[in-house]
């Protein structure tokens, strides 16, 4: 054990700081149209440092982040993901699910996997020859991804969380061991010049927060 880090800011600064952060995060939107403009050096590494600092069950840190920037690998990633997505839209998804997706304008085409300058592939790390049994894996990885999205947004970068299903193809394509299981893909970059986003709204706090 060691002393806890220092917490607290002057009382008069607490509300403005959290309000500014909330406003910044509220402005974040999922982007599906990316530019190929390069990401400044060092930004991805620092965002991943933030992600890797997330809390996890028993401190197992059950995540692996594979950063894909090679155009040939991104191309293969897109082809493989689109094959799974085609089956999803044609056979696997229920009518109810497809109806829920309709306002977002999504389909089996995933050009962002190839156009975005980087795609961060997030894996869950389960028990294996060199990895201990993890606990609360999905919860832990979910928190880490939240940290990652927040950090990238702070850097002025656009992101998207993409979950082709199933994701078993990722292990072979990215040469990952079987104890690592695909969780999601995060294309990262700048929006295309005339990128648009769906006109969706967020639920008011009164619907999602209960005070007791």
In tens, the pLDDT along 15-67 reads 999 999 999 999 999 999 999 999 999 999 999 999 999 999 999 999 999 99
* 173 vs 54: CA distance, rounded Å: 27
Q: Work out the pLDDT band at 131, boundaries 50, 70, 90.
A: very high
pLDDT recorded at residue 6: 87
Q: State the average pLDDT for the chain.
A: 96
Predicted confidence (pLDDT) at residue 165 exceeds the cutoff of 90: no
CB atoms within 10 A of CB 102: 9
Q: Which helix (H) or strand (E) holds 154?
A: helix 137-154
* 91 vs 114: CA distance, rounded Å: 25
Strand partners, 158: 189
pLDDT recorded at residue 179: 98
Q: Which helix (H) or strand (E) holds 43?
A: helix 43-51
Structure tokens at 12: 């008069």
Question: What is the chain's length?
Answer: 212
More confident residue, 122 or 7: 122
User: Any idea of the CA torsion for 39, 140, 125, 167, to the nearest 10 degrees?
Assistant: -70
Side-chain-side CA neighbours of 31 within 13 Å: the count stands at: 24
Asked if 119 and 44 count as a contact pair (C-beta separation under 8 A), the reply is no
pLDDT recorded at residue 8: 87
pLDDT tens, position by position, 71-97: 999 999 999 999 999 999 999 999 999
- In the chain, the percentage of residues whose pLDDT exceeds 90 is 92
* 97 vs 72: CA distance, rounded Å: 32
């Amino acid at each position: 054990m060691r002393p806890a880090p220092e917490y607290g800011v002057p009382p008069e600064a607490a509300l403005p700081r959290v309000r500014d952060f909330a406003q910044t995060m509220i402005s974040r939107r999922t982007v599906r149209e990316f530019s190929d403009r390069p990401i400044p050096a060092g930004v991805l590494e620092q965002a991943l440092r933030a992600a890797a600092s997330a809390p996890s069950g028993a401190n197992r840190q059950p995540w692996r982040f594979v950063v894909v920037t090679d155009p040939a690998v991104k191309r293969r990633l897109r082809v493989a993901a689109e094959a799974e997505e085609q089956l999803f839209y044609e056979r696997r998804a229920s009518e109810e699910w497809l109806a829920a997706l309709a306002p977002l304008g999504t389909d089996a085409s995933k050009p962002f996997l190839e156009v975005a300058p980087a795609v961060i592939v997030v894996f869950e790390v389960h028990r294996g020859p060199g990895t201990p049994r993890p606990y609360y894996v999905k919860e832990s990885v979910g928190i880490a991804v939240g940290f990652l999205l927040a950090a990238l947004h702070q850097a002025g970068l656009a992101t998207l969380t993409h979950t082709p299903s199933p994701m078993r193809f990722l292990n072979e394509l990215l040469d990952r061991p079987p104890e690592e299981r695909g969780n999601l893909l995060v294309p990262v970059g700048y929006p295309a010049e005339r990128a648009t986003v769906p006109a969706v709204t967020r639920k008011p706090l009164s619907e999602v927060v209960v005070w007791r």
